[in-house]
Amino acid sequence: MTAARLPRSPIEPVNPVLNVSRSANLPHVPGIRVGDYIFLSGMGPIDPLTGERRHGPIAEQVRTTLNNVKHMLESTGSSLTRVVRVHVVLADIADIAEMDRVYREFFPVDPPARTAWSMQLRFGNGCEIECVALGAALA
Amino acid sequence: MSLPREVITAPLPGIGATRAFDQPASVAVRGGAFVFVSGLTAFDPATGAAIRGTTSSETRQILENLELILEAAGSSLDRVLKVNVLLHSMLEAPNMNEIYARFFPEPPPARTVCGARLPDGVKVMIECTALASDDGR
């Protein structure tokens, strides 16, 4: 079998404020596209206007984070409906019900496979979310 | 060209539990060449009822269910590429390994194990990425 060599390219958010890894000089990119597969870095509750972390109630943090995930996917021509796998990491496992409540607003139909758990997070974030998605469906 | 995305529905009612219990996740999704399976906890595949036991018994139940889910997705345990195992305590890793080793034929998939806080008193959670079937379904 001869596998074609897939092109690998970093994802650039349309809104440069959300390129947190660049502004904070972290050693990762926001996401990588490999052929029609998209791998996003773990994202946190960054205010898309200011670039500051929004550490309010968990529902608000999850909503901000998922809106940022949405933006990142749309920046590469994909969308939330093309997500296949999600990791949701919470700082506090007790927040899982509240996270779910907001999460389902973003994935109302045929949601992706998901794993959610809790462990220590950096920067005081209440949640961090990463995903794998596919490129855009044909119109 | 656009890769297919397909939510996997399993024939056993309990495996549709994520839907039956109104969880905001699909038990597995096929995306292109891969099948992504959600983090599974131990449940009865016939009824979907949660099963809480030891790390060993939960591991066994999860991997039995995983096999059924992969089959429903046109894949199988020998096509699993990567497994993530989350344990309520890393002290339980040998108990998990003893059961785990019985399920995967040689060579077993790549794997990461870590200790984590899990919901609802769960002791083990296992997710995986597998190759979809060759037949392009």
Q: What is the extent of the structural domain holding B95?
A: 5-131
For helices A96-106 and A58-75, the axis angle rounded to 10 degrees is 30
The fourth-level CATH superfamily of domain A18-134 is RutC-like (3.30.1330.40)
pLDDT exceeds cutoff 90 at B15: no
Is the separation of the CB atoms in B119 and A116 below 8 Å?
A: yes
pLDDT exceeds cutoff 50 at B107: yes
- First CA to last CA distance, chain B: 16
Mean pLDDT, rounded, for B18-33: 80
pLDDT at B20: 47
For position B106, which CATH number holds?
Answer: 3.30.1330.40
* Helix H or strand E segment including A100: helix A96-106
Q: Distances from the Cα of B39 to the Cαs of A2, A76, B85, in angstroms?
A: 33, 27, 9
Residues A19, A38: Cα–Cα separation, whole Å: 16
**What is the ipTM metric for this complex?**
0.93
pLDDT < 70 stretches in chain A: 1-4, 137-139
Mean pLDDT, rounded, for B66-86: 96
Cβ contact (<8 Å) for A36 and B5? no
Residue spans of the domains in chain A: they are: 18-134
The residue in chain B having the minimum alpha-carbon distance to the alpha carbon of residue A121 is B116
Q: Which of B1, B23, B36 comes nearest A132 by C-beta?
A: B36
**Structural domains in chain B (count):** 1
Cβ contact (<8 Å) for B7 and A36? no
Residues of B in contact with A119 (CB under 8 A): 114, 116-117
pLDDT at B10: 75
Within-domain flag for B121: yes
pLDDT exceeds cutoff 50 at B24: yes
A57 vs B46, which has greater pLDDT?
A57
Cβ contact (<8 Å) for A85 and B30? no
Residues of B in contact with A134 (CB under 8 A): 2-3, 5, 31-32
pLDDT at B9: 84
Tell me: the pLDDT tens digits for A19-35? 988 888 899 999 999 99
Within-domain flag for B126: yes
Which residues are CB-contacts of A48 (< 8 A; sequence separation ≥ 6)? Answer: A15, A17, A18, A64, A67, A68, A71
pLDDT at B18: 54
Within-domain flag for B137: no
How far does A70 lie from chain B, in Å, by closest CA?
17
